[in-house]
Amino acid sequence: MPEINTWQIIKNNVLRRLSERQWLPGDTLPSEMEFAREFGCARATVNKALNELASTGILERKRKSGTRVTINPVRKATMSIPVTRQEIQARGCTYSHVLIENTLKRLPAHMTSRFNVPGGVKALHHKALHLSDHEAFLYEDRWINTIVMPDIQEVDFTTISANEWLVGHAPYSRGELSILSAAASADEALHLGIDEGRPILIVERTTWSDTQPITFVRLAYRPGYRLNSTL
């Protein structure tokens, strides 16, 4: 428990007292002024420490009513979703990727509703396979809105993955993420080199720039893959 700063000392102290059940779920903690006196510091310092704890969902803070221990804490896990190349290289493996498809075509029905655009609009359909030590790791099936990203049709995706290009060229303002389990489709099974119907982890992500959809991607991970996080 490294305690270098005053606000971290306060944070850790409060955490310890919570684990020792000095304050139970629903209880009100002392006010910022009281903590400031206890620790001999400014109120702003206490404010930072308590807000830090509130951001993890352990405490709830409201003006006038004070700081309370959350009764049914919504546990918040921060999942880090790195660029695939980095994720693979971080494990000490060799990264490579193969472009499978990159064509302009009419959006299918399930995509027009997702992109909230009229039917008949064309978009870039992009499929690629990411490999770890030359073995299939992740199959990517992506639609890119060419109205928002016209430059993308000139990009050579055999040298850089769409994943990385978009990260560098399409700053998003908003995104939605969905994690599910599915039976591998024929397409996914073929490219991942597994049997159709095998359970695989799917991550679907839509990103928006203001009100314009930029891209929708469905990531199919090879069997055995886990998304890990600490609480």
The reply on whether position 33 binds its own copies by CB under 8 A is no
200 contacts 136 by C-beta, under 8 angstroms: no
Tokens representing residue 219 in the block = 């990531």
Residue 167's binding partner out of DNA, its own copies, none, with CB under 5 to 8 Å set by partner kind:
its own copies
The reply on whether position 172 binds its own copies by CB under 8 A is yes
Of 103, 180, 195, 196, the residue at the interface with its own copies (CB under 8 A) is 180
List own/partner pairs for 76-81 with CB under 8 A and 24 or more apart.
Answer: 76/231, 77/229, 77/230, 77/231, 78/229, 79/227, 79/229, 80/229, 81/177, 81/203
The reply on whether position 29 binds DNA by CB under 7 A is yes
Tokens representing residue 111 in the block = 């995509």
The reply on whether position 15 binds its own copies by CB under 8 A is yes
At 66, is the secondary structure helix, strand, or coil? strand
The reply on whether position 45 binds DNA by CB under 7 A is yes
Which part of the chain contacts DNA (CB under 7 A), choosing from 37-45, 83-91, 135-143, 222-230?
Answer: 37-45
| DSSP 8-state symbol, 84 | H
Q: What DSSP string runs through 132-163?
A: ETTEEEEEEEEEE-TTT-GGGGG--TTTS-HH
The reply on whether position 193 binds its own copies by CB under 8 A is no
Of 12, 13, 15, 61, the residue at the interface with DNA (CB under 7 A) is 61
Exposed, middle or buried: residue 190 (CB in 10 Å: 0-12, 13-18, 19+)? middle
Task: Name the minimum Å distance from CB 34 to DNA.
Answer: 8
Residue 164's binding partner out of DNA, its own copies, none, with CB under 5 to 8 Å set by partner kind:
its own copies
- Which is nearest to 103 in space by CA: 152, 166, 172? 152
The reply on whether position 153 binds DNA by CB under 7 A is no
Count of residues that interact with its own copies, criterion CB under 8 A: 55
Tokens representing residue 3 in the block = 């305690």
Of 108, 173, 193, 195, the residue at the interface with its own copies (CB under 8 A) is 173
The reply on whether position 75 binds its own copies by CB under 8 A is yes
The reply on whether position 42 binds its own copies by CB under 8 A is no
Task: Name the minimum Å distance from CB 52 to DNA.
Answer: 10
Q: Which residues bind DNA (CB under 7 A)?
A: 5-8, 29, 31-33, 40-45, 47-48, 50-51, 54, 61-67
